Every structure is written in C-alpha cells, then in structure tokens.
A and B are shown apart, each in its own frame.
Chain A
C-alpha cells in the first residue's frame, strides 16, 4: 500500500505531493493531472498486478514441485508466455491486441505443463530436473522468438512492443488491457486461495498427498492452470520479469511459515509491493531515462537465486 503511494508520488517529472492528491481527486492543473492519472496510476496498478501475479504463481509452483527454487521465470513458464505474446504480435499485427494476453496464457500453459511432465520423468520431481527442464524450455522459446523476429517484417515495425515483452517493462497500452488483466489476476488469486489447503498436502510429496485424499491429477492440473493464468497475465502486461516469483514467497515463508493459504495472500501483497518499488527504482535511477523493471528484478533476484542454489547443494546432490 505504501509502495503504491510512493509509486504514484514519485516519477520522472517532479510533481508536488499536494498536486498529485489533487490530480487523483479530479482537480489540479493540466499536465500534472495527465501525468498522474494517465501515466503513473495505470503503471503503478499494472506493476502491482504483475508483481502479485508472479509471486502467487511462484508460491504455487514451489508448493507443487516442493522446490524453493521454482518460479514462472526459472521454470520457463514466462518464456512460454512471451513466445505466445510475440507470436500474437507477429501474426496478428495491430488487430491482435486482445489476443496477446490469450496467447501469452496459452504459451505459459504449454510451458508449465511440459516442465511438470519433464520434471516427473522417473516418478519423482527433483530440484535439478525442474531447473534443467526450465533452462531447456527457456532456451527453446527464446530461439523461437528470435526466429519470429528474423522472419517477420511486421515485428520490425512493432519493435517497441516486442522489446517490452522480452526485457520486462511495465507498459500499459490501454485501460481496457489493465481491466482485463486485473480480472484475470483476481480470478487466479481466488483459484490459488481455494487450492492452497490441498497444496499443503504435498508437504511430504505427491504420493502422500494422494494418501491424504488429494486427487493429485486434478489438483496438479488446477495448480498449473492457475499458474499459467497468472504468469500469462503478467507477461502480457510486463513481459519477462524475473525472480519476483522466487524471492517473495521464499522470504515470506521464512517469516510466516509454510501454510499456503496465508502464504498465497501474503505473496500477492508482497509481490505487488516489491514490483511497484522495483518499477519505481527503474523509473527513477536514471531519470528521465527509464530502465525496464526486469533489469531491476534481475539485478536483485539473480544473486539471491545463486545464494539459494548454493544452500540447496544437499538437495541437488
């Protein structure tokens, strides 16, 4: 909540806090009203949605795979979504606006189902198998994106849109897009909260979950579906934003414990706050030039991931 306030108050153009409040309430003078209401507010809301969605998706994947190193980015789910989004931009052109999120969801779903299948070869999911499957998928999706970029002259014309997807920058092209994304993310959050107690049952692994009465096939599919919804919405809004889904649930689990209903709710709020702050940093570090937020999360999350990986050595061995 605080970070949302900060995100609206601070920006590339200095505007006095009193003017910001006035602009939000409908008063104030011309340019600052436009900047606050049409640029900053949607962008902060979008960053909150993206951060919340990625953190919840990360929580679900970590619980299902019993793997603290899983998130939509590391597992290649986001890359699948990005491929879907780029394909939509390439093949559908300017008219493809509404289909971009849909294709992002489709790509994310295919990717996350593949990771799930690949990670389970041999009957049990290991941390290593998940990471390797994620690397393979990300590389494959990345190559296909490059093929699309080279092969399609339409993409050259829409380079900015493609770049947004690949680098991870929060960009809101229309209010309609924001509203659709908000509906999808809220639906995903509701699904995640409903699934949470059954994810708890995976604490001792899939077989014990089944012994505890979980219909493991249906629940796993539900988790993957919700994950893809959330990751797809995040990719459609902000492209490839790494590590939010990894760091936020991990940090909150250490504080709040492992029960997933509490963790899902907290991750949504924590992820939203984290990404709004990261986006704020991205906007202000080199103001008036703006960095994509994916750069900030990568700078923070990359080292965090390495530290986690080092601490997981015994699991990997």
Chain B
C-alpha cells in the first residue's frame, strides 16, 4: 500500500519558515483533513507533500523514495493535486481538462495513447461527467466544474490525491457531496488522500483522520472526536468557537457575542 511520509519538514518562502518541523503519514484508502487557522501552513504543507516546494530540512518520502530525487513527471504519475483556484482563461472543454491529467504519461511528442484515452473516459464516467464531456468548462456550474477538476486528478491515475480546499466555492450540500465522493474514491481506488479544509464540521463528518496545525506545527492528530475538543480549538483559533458533542459527532459553532 502506498505511503507518503513527511518527517521533520521545515519549509517556507523567505527567511522565516512557514512549516517548522512537521511529521505526517498518509496511506491508501483514507482521507486526512488538514485543519488550522489562516497562516498555519496548511497549503504550504500540501505543496511540500506534492513535491512543488522543497523542504529546507527534513524530507518527504513516497514508498521510501525521497521526493526530491524524482522528476516532475515521475512524481505526477504517483501524486495528483487538485488546485484550489480553477479560474480558466481559455475555453477548454471538460474532456480537454480531464485529459490534462494524462500530461505526465505523454511521450515526447505529446500524443495520447489508447491507455490515456481510456483513463480519461474512466475518470469522466466515474464522476458522472459523460454528458458534459464536450461542453466548455466555463459554461458549467461551480459544482460541475469542481467535478471536472477532480476528474482531471483522477485521470492522472496516481496513488496519492492532495486537495487544497476542494469545497471552497460550493454550497453546503455540494460540499458534503464532494467530500463524500472523495471518500468513496479513496476507498474504491485505495488512494491516500489529504485535503486542506476550512470547514471543521465537514472535516468532522467525513474525514477518517484530522490533523490540526498551528504556526507550522502539528498540535493535534487523530479522529475528529479526539482532535476537535474545546481546549484544543480555544488554543488554536482563540475563544470564539464552541464545540457541541453528540456521541461521535462534533459540531463547531461560533459563540454568540
């Protein structure tokens, strides 16, 4: 089973590191939600896990191989990233967008093989996009567009799926629908999935495991019931949130003033 393991990762953009020694382990079949306040390092962690940002200390290993020793294409065949913003300037069709997921599999001349086409068809079918395939992506609703970008990542046929706020432009029902879908895909394809989420309730309901970051460090990790406790949230988010408990369910609501 695929494992993506970060050990003692320190990383950032300038002199002061954003991540200050993070350990994280992802393995196939489960969804890990990465939570934390703005500036905690969630997106940076995702970039390091994707090999897009090299850590200044520590390392990320994919099944034992250090990421920085692999080529971009070799990484992309194993790790897919769903971008946070998918603003498109040019009128690509849904099928063309999904086919971008095959970029790392293309030969030097860049022509798609039968395998590439089959992977695209499969991803389109899995996300129920067959009837949208030839539509231009800018004519779709937010939810449909999100599915198209997800299908692009699936067509990559990677073992690891990293998502940066995959539900950010969606209404509550579509947020749940999208995460449920990601969870089912993780199980069906034994993908190792990590998603940066802002919505604590969504994470509580749908993630298998939750990681809480603060100032570039992991402050809590475990099931939602273990991590989303009043003291932990007070410490990380300040005293503005209240945790309601009902059995295994956790709901976080803003305190009335």
Q: Which residues of A contact B (CB under 8 A)?
A: 63, 66-68, 194-198, 200-201, 203-205, 207-216, 253-254, 257-259, 261, 315
B32-52 interface (Cβ within 8 A of A) = 47, 50, 52
**Binary flags per residue of B89-108, CB closer than 8 Å to A gives 1, else 0:** 11111001101110111101
Do residues A213 and B96 form an inter-chain contact, with CB atoms below 8 A? no
Chain A contact surface mostly: helix
Do residues B77 and A211 form an inter-chain contact, with CB atoms below 8 A? no
Docked CA distance A68–B88 (Å): 12
- From residue B157, how far is it (CB to closest CB) to chain A in Å? 12
B108-141 interface (Cβ within 8 A of A) = 108-112, 136
Across the interface, which residues of A come within 8 angstroms of B85, CB to CB?
Answer: 204
Q: Which residue of B lies closest to A258 (CB)?
A: B90
Across the interface, which residues of B come within 8 angstroms of A207, CB to CB?
Answer: 47, 52, 83
Task: Please name 26 pairs of A and B residues whose Cβ atoms are closer than 8 Å in the assembled complex, sorted by A.
Answer: A63-B90, A194-B109, A195-B110, A197-B110, A197-B112, A200-B92, A200-B96, A200-B100, A200-B103, A203-B88, A203-B89, A203-B100, A204-B87, A207-B52, A207-B83, A210-B52, A211-B76, A211-B79, A212-B76, A212-B104, A212-B156, A213-B103, A214-B72, A215-B72, A257-B136, A258-B91
5 interchain residue pairs of minimum CB distance: A213-B104, A213-B76, A258-B90, A197-B110, A211-B81
B75 at the interface (CB under 8 A from A): yes
Q: Which residues of B contact A (CB under 8 A)?
A: 47, 50, 52, 71-73, 75-77, 79-81, 83, 85-93, 96-97, 99-101, 103-106, 108-112, 136, 156
Docked CA distance A194–B109 (Å): 5
Knowing A66-B89, A203-B92, A211-B50, the reply to whether A216 touches B100 (Cβ < 8 A) is no
Q: Which residue of A lies closest to B92 (CB)?
A: A258
Do residues A204 and B88 form an inter-chain contact, with CB atoms below 8 A? yes
- From residue B111, how far is it (CB to closest CB) to chain A in Å? 8
Docked CA distance A66–B88 (Å): 9
Do residues A68 and B72 form an inter-chain contact, with CB atoms below 8 A? no
Across the interface, which residues of B come within 8 angstroms of A213, CB to CB?
Answer: 72-73, 75-77, 103-105, 156
Across the interface, which residues of B come within 8 angstroms of A195, CB to CB?
Answer: 110
Do residues B83 and A215 form an inter-chain contact, with CB atoms below 8 A? no
Do residues A259 and B100 form an inter-chain contact, with CB atoms below 8 A? no
Docked CA distance A259–B111 (Å): 13
Do residues B77 and A257 form an inter-chain contact, with CB atoms below 8 A? no
- From residue A118, how far is it (CB to closest CB) to chain B in Å? 20
Across the interface, which residues of A come within 8 angstroms of B112, CB to CB?
Answer: 197
Do residues A68 and B89 form an inter-chain contact, with CB atoms below 8 A? yes
Q: Which residue of A lies closest to B79 (CB)?
A: A211
- From residue B169, how far is it (CB to closest CB) to chain A in Å? 14
The interface centre, meaning the residue of B47, B88, B97, B110 with most chain A CB atoms within 10 A of its CB, is: B110
Knowing A203-B100, A258-B96, the reply to whether A210 touches B72 (Cβ < 8 A) is yes
